[in-house]
């Protein structure tokens, strides 16, 4: 055992693009660093393009490595590293990393945690992998969920934690765009966003993201919708946005909503997943039950005077600072990792 790394927390993920799970892992790593916890992020595999997550971790001076370096088998590589270094916790994100780390736990007895991020039920091969991940939950030391709906899909007990972002280092947005941010896939319902644009042709609508529905959406969207494609640096994009629309069919607690509100961007959303824990209707954003109400609330927002918009933006930032920040969540997580090693008097939400 390496005594210098015995208090280290390892985060494990398989990352091809930069989405909500990658944002979560980045914020988690930065939050642990703020609490002076030694953290390292392990990526299972190299892909054709360098992982954007790895680049952003390096910019934040957080240790990151690839488990398949020099052609190594990522499973055997992780197994050998765990045996040698014995991190205090092995925390997996995404089904592939989760299943891999559970097998490592069976072979080594390491303290292993899995976070379940996906609220939707996938199709094809991914459905099988997702099912294996969920039904093997008993192997993990702890299972963490980011929404009540995800917890309901797990056959074993889990702990709910809020997603979080660090609003202290973010600049408030001065943008005015009405935007969709995320994968162009069925569960995120970008088709609903396009329909909203069709109902409001005097307004402009901006789409940031790519996915399976992209070609069809582009061919049917009205002229007031602009598709910007996949973004490699959302930090520069957020400053253009004045209202984030979330019209998903399935959600947990989307990181995009937290990132927007931390920058003072109100969120107008359908009431899915755990968005009701984040958004207070007409106080820090808008939370509605139908597309008709979504359209109505959009009109309400557009007609707000400057003072009312400032109050909405300020309330959004305050919500993140008080309930969805590293200082609110990390102490609870440390109690999961090692209650004896990381001293905390915070109680864990059940």
Do residues 20 and 141 share a domain?
yes
Task: Report if residue 171 sits inside a domain.
Answer: no
CATH of the domain at 153: 3.40.50.2000
Do residues 204 and 87 share a domain?
no
Task: Report if residue 65 sits inside a domain.
Answer: yes
Backbone angles phi, psi at 318, to 5 degrees: -60, -40
Q: In what order do the strands lie in the sheet with 9-13?
A: 63-66, 39-43, 9-13, 89-93, 112-116, 142-145, 159-160
Contact 116, 143 (CB under 8 A): yes
pLDDT, tens digit, for every residue of 299-325?
999 999 999 999 999 999 999 999 999
pLDDT of amino acid 342: 65
Do residues 86 and 213 share a domain?
no
Grouping H, G, I as helix, E, B as strand and the rest as coil, residue 168 is helix
The tokens for 2 are 């390496």
pTM: 0.81
pLDDT, tens digit, for every residue of 76-107?
999 999 999 999 999 999 999 999 999 999 99
pLDDT, tens digit, for every residue of 202-252?
999 999 999 999 999 999 999 999 999 999 888 889 999 999 999 999 888
Distance of CA 242 to the CA centre of its chain: 20
Tally of domains within the chain: 2
Do residues 293 and 315 share a domain?
yes
Give the domain extent around 281.
Answer: 177-324
The tokens for 154 are 């797990």
The tokens for 70 are 């020099």
Task: Report if residue 342 sits inside a domain.
Answer: no
The tokens for 128 are 């099988």
Give the count of beta carbons closer than 10 Å to the beta carbon of residue 198.
14
Do residues 156 and 265 share a domain?
no
């Amino acid at each position: 055992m390496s005594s210098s790394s015995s208090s280290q927390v390892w985060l494990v993920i398989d990352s091809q693009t930069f989405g909500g799970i990658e944002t979560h892992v980045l914020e988690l790593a930065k939050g642990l660093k703020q609490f002076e916890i030694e953290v390292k992020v392990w990526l299972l595999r190299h892909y054709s393009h360098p992982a954007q997550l790895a680049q952003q971790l390096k910019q934040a001076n957080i240790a990151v490595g690839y488990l398949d370096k020099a052609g190594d088998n990522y499973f055997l590589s992780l197994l050998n590293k765990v045996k040698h270094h014995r991190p205090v916790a092995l925390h997996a994100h995404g089904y592939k990393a989760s299943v891999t780390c559970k097998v490592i736990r069976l072979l080594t007895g390491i303290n292993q945690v899995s976070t379940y991020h996906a609220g939707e039920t996938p199709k094809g091969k991914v459905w099988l992998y997702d099912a294996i991940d969920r039904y093997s939950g008993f192997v993990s030391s702890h299972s963490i969920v980011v929404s009540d709906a995800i917890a309901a899909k797990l056959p074993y007990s889990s702990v709910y934690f809020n997603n979080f972002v660090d609003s202290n280092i973010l600049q408030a947005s001065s943008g005015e765009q009405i935007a969709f941010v995320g994968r162009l896939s069925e569960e995120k319902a970008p088709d609903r966003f396009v329909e909203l644009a069709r109902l409001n042709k005097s307004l402009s609508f901006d789409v940031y993201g790519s996915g399976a529905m992209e070609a069809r959406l582009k061919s049917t969207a009205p002229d007031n919708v602009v598709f910007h494609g996949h973004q490699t640096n959302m930090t520069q994009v957020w400053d253009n946005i004045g209202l984030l629309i979330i019209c998903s069919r399935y959600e947990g607690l989307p990181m995009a909503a937290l990132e927007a509100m931390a920058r003072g961007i109100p969120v107008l959303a359908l009431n899915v997943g755990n968005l009701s824990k984040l958004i207070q209707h007409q106080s820090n954003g808008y939370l509605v039950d139908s597309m008709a109400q979504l359209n109505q609330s959009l009109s309400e927002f557009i007609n707000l005077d400057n003072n009312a918009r400032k109050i909405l933006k300020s309330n959004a930032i305050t919500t993140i600072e008080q309930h969805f920040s590293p200082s609110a969540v990390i102490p609870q997580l440390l109690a999961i990792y090692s209650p004896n090693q990381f001293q905390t008097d915070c109680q864990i939400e059940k």
